[in-house]
Amino acid sequence: MAESVCRSLRDGVLEGELAPALTIKDSLSSPFGFNVFSHILVQLSSHIVAGKSQSRGMVIVSLSRSPSSYTGLLKMNGVDVESSKKWIHILDCYTDPLGWKDKTRKSGDIMDPSNQILSSYKTVKDVNKLFSVICDLGRGLVGENKSRFCVAIDSLSELLRHSSMQSVASLLSNLRSHDQISSIFGLLHSDLHEERALAAVEYTSSIVASVDPFHHSVDGQGSYIRNSSEPNLTKGKLNIRSKRRNGRVRVTCEEFKVGPSGISFAPVSAVDGAAVAGLIPKVQFNLQLSEKELVDRSRVVLPFEHQGNGKPIQIYDGRRSLEESNNETTPISGGKKEESGRGEIIYFRDSDDEMPDSDEDPDDDLDI
Amino acid sequence: MATTRTRVSSFSHNVSSLKSSQHPGLKNGPNGTTFVSSGISDLDKILGGGFSLGSLVMIMEDAEAPHHMLLLRNFMSQGLLHRQPLLYASPSKDPRAFLGTLPSPGSSKDDTSHKPSHEKDLRIAWQYKKYFGEPQLNINTNNGGHHDYCNDLDLRKPLERHFFTSNNVDCVSIQNSPNLDALKDRCAEFLAQFSRNEGSISSAGRIAIQSFCSPQCKYSDMEWHMLSFIRSLKGMARSSNVVVVVTFPPSLLSPSCSKRLQHMADTLLSVRAIPDEDKELAKLLTGYQDMVGLLNVHKVARLNTQVPVILDATTFSIKLQKRRFLVFECLNQAPVDGSGGSSYGNSGVCSTSTKAGPLDF
């Protein structure tokens, strides 16, 4: 559920652990990543303003959209941006990420000094500096004490465009291990990057929410007209994989619908079974015993086990059958023939010189 | 009466008598090798004794689960308990902080209660049994000295500080180094203390490298550099009394590099995550509630011999007993209808196809 994702971001980090990091991944076949991102942004902001979340402030690193669009978005959703207690700061990496305007401008730069919540950042390629600026801004929001803040990165794709995968991965892991950061979340467009960059970002994040087309294509090649029908432009599926603390992965799926008022989520109607068969080998027999089976097994009385309980111990020596299992009177020696109506087989020993064991049924010595 | 005797060939390696009294952390293995414990008794049993000295153990991580940390913690802690020096390298900024999470031996001695005691209860129906006093055929589970070799480590109880504040633990952070040369020098220095000579083994050491190609390391796209580092590490380790354990996430490497690293390992394990609250898996496996992941054993080290190890089962479930003790159990699966599928599914490289591939180093 998007609810659970928002909740885990809101609850933040436990002491001594890495902060939860959400990566929202979308692609051309279902380009609604920003809708999901803004939904989560709005939710988290309202939690912060209401004081219900662990983080007391938010730093938005806006790379692909202008800061004013964020203030507009928050205002439209009823979140008070201009409140007296400063809780949000937007780092503007959109207007001039590489500092070109400074180089071309002859006069001094014209910055709006009255804007309290905005700062401009001009060296996106220097990821270390970005990290320290984010931390400083956050600390400015929440103070030096134990309060925490959360970080929203508008587009990890933009960051990956400007700098190497290693530096982005180290930025994410440094942010996660910073002791004043409560949670981070970012947006990524999966078809812009190589597999390895995607894998690296997924490796460093704890929740991966991928925005998929409504009719899931079987081979994920990305060609977005899969069916004969039109691609669905308002609906899609959100597949969430979150890493839990005990090492298991929680996989959930939701449908979403994008409308003029925003995005809405609904639990998915039909669940298709996950392919778990590949995980386990096809062992056909259960080789262990359950508790009941163990108890039953211990109750089985084996042959010879009931001997010696007061009765004399009898050892079969091959010449005569044991008396307990022998009900019929079969003469061993002698030539008497008996008839009975049951059709028995009567065997007469020819002589006593024969080996004593050769004529006896080997199962006769079983004492059951 | 059939007793099982290990087949001793006419050429038996003249092993200098290894002192299990003096070195509880070491155990004699076949073909002149020596084992150290991995810290998990189930894993020692699966591998036939433990990790061989001089071998390279590689653990393939799953990007979604931290189970490799459990294995590493037990490995490192067991070494420290036996006073074996340790070199630990990790991509975090402060590797020393990880030492605070190492487990300590558990105090409860109820490890026999969970083990199925089927072997002890083997009953033979034999008519002359009554004439003998004690039962003759009790299977010896070799408990003598067992507690010293491998401790039951309680993951919730941290290891006492005096085990690692002494100078036998060296920690290296590999995050900021531009390449692996610094780490290679540290390893070479460490391994030089334990070089193998003709005499008896005085002490053993352990090296643990965590998340070797983690993306925040600057050298993580220099694949050939990483491969040559592992190769030289393996070569150095072969001639010394050290076990090297390296964990790496194979999904972050190119497939060829990942395959090459897997081939270089003497013992290859992999851990995998399982989905949470999955009804299908719960129906398919008994004991699903306690499982936290899966362990696959792809290769088991066999030094000084060409005979490979063929295991009965290569997939085990990772469980945390009482959330403290790490155990590996065979999977108990409901009988399936057996239609299709090979007996080991997709669980990875078969243990016999070890070094016969076209790659030769």
Q: Looking at the predicted structure, is the pLDDT value of residue A282 above 90?
A: no
Residue A84, judged by CB atoms within 10 A of its CB (0-12, 13-18, 19+), counts as exposed
| Beta strand extents in B169-212 (DSSP E only) | 169-173, 205-209
The Cα A253–Cα A267 span in angstroms is 7
Q: Which tokens belong to B279?
A: 């009804």
Task: Give the gap in angstroms from C-alpha B54 to the nearest C-alpha of chain A.
Answer: 31
Q: What would the pLDDT profile of A106-147 be if each residue is shown by its tens digit?
A: 544 444 444 567 888 888 888 889 999 999 888 888 887 788
Judge contact between A37 and A155, C-beta under 8 A. Answer: no
Chain B residues within an 8 Å CB radius of A173? 91, 216
Q: What was the pLDDT predicted at B178?
A: 87
Q: Which residues pair with A177 in a beta bridge?
A: none
Mean pLDDT of A223-235: 58
* pLDDT attached to residue A201: 93
Of the ranges A143-147, B50-54, B101-105, which one carries the lowest mean pLDDT score?
Answer: A143-147
Q: What is the overall mean pLDDT for chain B?
A: 78
Among A3-17, A29-43, A190-204, B32-46, the minimum mean pLDDT is found in: A3-17
CATH 3.40.50.300 fits A2-277, yes or no: yes
Question: For residues A284 and B338, is the Cβ–Cβ distance under 8 A?
Answer: yes
**Picking from A352-356, B45-49, B95-99, B280-284, which range would have the lowest pLDDT averaged per residue?**
A352-356
B201 part of contact set with chain A, CB < 8 Å: no
B7 — pLDDT class (breaks 50, 70, 90)? low
Structure tokens at A284: 């056909």
User: Mean pLDDT, to the nearest integer, of A222-245?
Assistant: 70
Rounded Cα distance between B358 and B361, Å, is: 10
**Chain A residues with CB inside 8 Å of B338's CB?**
282, 284
Orientation angle between helical segments B223-238 and B181-192, nearest 10 degrees: 0
- The CA distances from residue B156 to A57, A74, B323, in Å, are 34, 44, 8
φ, ψ at B155 (rounded to 5°): -70, -10
B271 close to B68: Cβ distance less than 8 angstroms: yes
State yes or no: ipTM above 0.90.
no
Whether the CB of A275 is below 8 Å from some CB of chain B: the reply is: no
Which residues face A150 on adjacent strands?
A: A58, A183
Strand partners, B246: B58, B209
Write the secondary structure of chain A as one string of H (helix), E (strand) and C (coil).
Answer: CHHHHHHHHHHCCCCCCCCCEEEEEEECCECCHHHHHHHHHHHHHHHHHHCCCCEEEEEEEECCCCHHHHHHHHHHCCCCCCCCCCCEEEEECCCCCCCHHHHHCCCCCCCCCCCCCEEECCCCCCHHHHHHHHHHHHHHHHCCCCCEEEEEECCHHHHHHHCCHHHHHHHHHHHHHCCCEEEEEEEEEHHHCCHHHHHHHHHHCCEEEEEEECCCCCCCCCCCCCCCCCCCCCEEEEEEEEECCCCCEEEEEEEEEEECCEEEEEECCCCCCCCCCCCCCCCCCCCCCCHHHHHHHHHCCCCCCCCCCCCCCCCCCCCCCCCCCCCCCCCCCCCCCCCCCCCCCCCCCCCCCCCCCCCCCHHHHCCC
pLDDT, position B116: 46
Nearest CB to B252: which of A203, A298, A315? Answer: A203
List of domains in chain B: 27-106+151-330 (3.40.50.300)
Q: Which of A165, A247, A274 sits opposite B67 (nearest CB)?
A: A247
Q: Which two tokens stand for residue A18?
A: 């890495």
Write the CB contacts of B197 (distance below 8 Å, at least 6 apart in sequence): none
How many Å from the N-terminal Cα to the C-terminal Cα in chain A? 63
pLDDT for residue B263? 94
The tens digit of pLDDT for each residue in B285-305 reads 777 888 889 999 999 998 888
Q: What angle do CA A307, A313, A318 make, to 5 degrees?
A: 110
Q: How far lies B113's CA from each of B45, B109, B324, B331, in Å?
A: 17, 9, 15, 19
CA distance B131 to chain A (A): 9
Q: Which region among A170-174, B22-26, B212-216 has the lowest average model confidence (pLDDT)?
A: B22-26
Say how many residues make up chain B.
361
pLDDT for the residue numbered A157: 93
Tell me what percent of the residues of chain A surpass a pLDDT of 90: 21
Average confidence score pLDDT of chain A = 76
Cα dihedral sign, B305-B308-B313-B314: positive
- Using alpha carbons only, give the angle B7, B12, B14 rounded to the nearest 5 degrees: 140
Percent of chain B, pLDDT > 70? 75
- For residues A256 and A254, give the distance between their C-alpha atoms in angstroms, rounded to a whole number: 6
Burial class (CB in 10 A: 0-12, 13-18, 19+), B357: exposed
pLDDT in tens, B165-184: 777 888 888 888 888 999 99
Residues β-bridged to residue B20: none
Interface test with chain B among A165, A166, A179, A280, by most B beta carbons within 10 Å:
A280
Cβ within 8 Å, pair B280-A273: yes
User: Do the chains contact at B293 and A248, CB–CB below 8 Å?
Assistant: yes
**CA-CA distances (angstroms) from residue A137 to A26, A89, A140, A283, A353?**
29, 7, 5, 57, 108
Contact with chain B for residue A273, Cβ under 8 A: yes
More confident residue, A286 or A156: A156
- Res. A43: pLDDT tops 60: yes
Chain B residue numbers with beta carbons less than 8 Å from the beta carbon of A307 are: 127, 130
Residue among A353, A306, A297 nearest A325 (CA):
A306
CA–CA min distance B23, chain A (Å): 35
Closest CA to B50 of B294, B300, B343: B300
Rounded to 5 degrees, φ, ψ at B283 are -75, -30
User: Pick from B64, B277, B318: which is nearest to A243 by CB?
Assistant: B64
pLDDT tens figures, A156-173: 999 999 999 999 999 999
- Any idea how long chain A is? 368
Distance from CA of A216 to the nearest CA of B (A): 20
Amino acid B168: pLDDT: 81
H-run or E-run covering B227: helix B223-238
Q: Does the beta-carbon distance from A278 to B346 stay under 8 Å?
A: yes
Chain B interface includes A156 (CB < 8 A): no
- Contact of B1 with chain A, judged by CB distance below 8 Å, is answered with no
pLDDT exceeds cutoff 80 at A30: yes
Q: Name chain A contacts of B349, Cβ cutoff 8 Å.
A: none
Q: What is d(CA B195, CA B239) in angstroms, rounded to the nearest whole number?
A: 6
Q: At what angle do helices A165-177 and A127-142 cross, to 10 degrees?
A: 20
Chain A residues in contact with B339 by the CB 8 A cut-off are none
pLDDT-above-70 percentage for chain A: 69
pTM of the predicted protein model: 0.74
Q: Decide if B230 contacts B261 (C-beta within 8 A).
A: yes
Which residue, among A91, A82, A185, has the nearest Cα to A140 in the 3D structure? A91
Per-residue pLDDT at B129? 67
Three-class DSSP category at B129: helix
Give the model's pLDDT for residue A22. 94
Report residue A111 as tokens.
Answer: 């910055």
Contact check, Cβ <8 Å, A199/B118? no
Q: Is the pLDDT of residue A83 over 70?
A: yes
* Residue ranges of domains in chain A: 2-277, 288-368
Give the Cα-Cα-Cα angle B50, B40, B233 (nearest 5 degrees). 50
| pLDDT given at position A340 | 44
Question: Out of B276, B335, B345, whose CB is closest to A281?
Answer: B345
Nearest-CA distance A169 → chain B (Å):
5
Amino acid of residue A367: D
CA–CA separation, A340 and A342 (whole Å): 5
Rounded to 10 deg, the angle between the A67-76 and A33-50 helix axes is 60
Contacts of residue A280, Cβ cutoff 8 Å, sequence gap at least 6: B284, B285, B294, B315, B331, B333, B345, B347
Going across the sheet that includes B291-299, the strands are B169-173, B86-90, B205-209, B242-248, B56-60, B267-273, B291-299, B315-321, B325-330
Write down the pLDDT at residue A342: 65
State the Cα–Cα distance between residues A175 and B216, nearest whole angstrom: 12
pLDDT band at A17 (very low <50, low <70, confident <90, very high): confident
Could you tell me if B274 and A249 are in contact, meaning their C-beta atoms sit under 8 angstroms apart?
A: yes
Distances (CA, A) of A94 to A57, A102, B103, B168: 21, 14, 48, 51
**Chain B, window 121-140: residues with a beta carbon less than 8 angstroms from a chain A beta carbon:** 121, 123-131
Q: CA separation (Å) from B247 to A333, B142, B262, B327?
A: 78, 31, 11, 19
If contacts are CB pairs under 8 Å, which of residues 213-272 in chain B contact chain A?
214-218, 220-221, 249, 251-254, 272
Between A356 and A113, the more confident residue is: A356
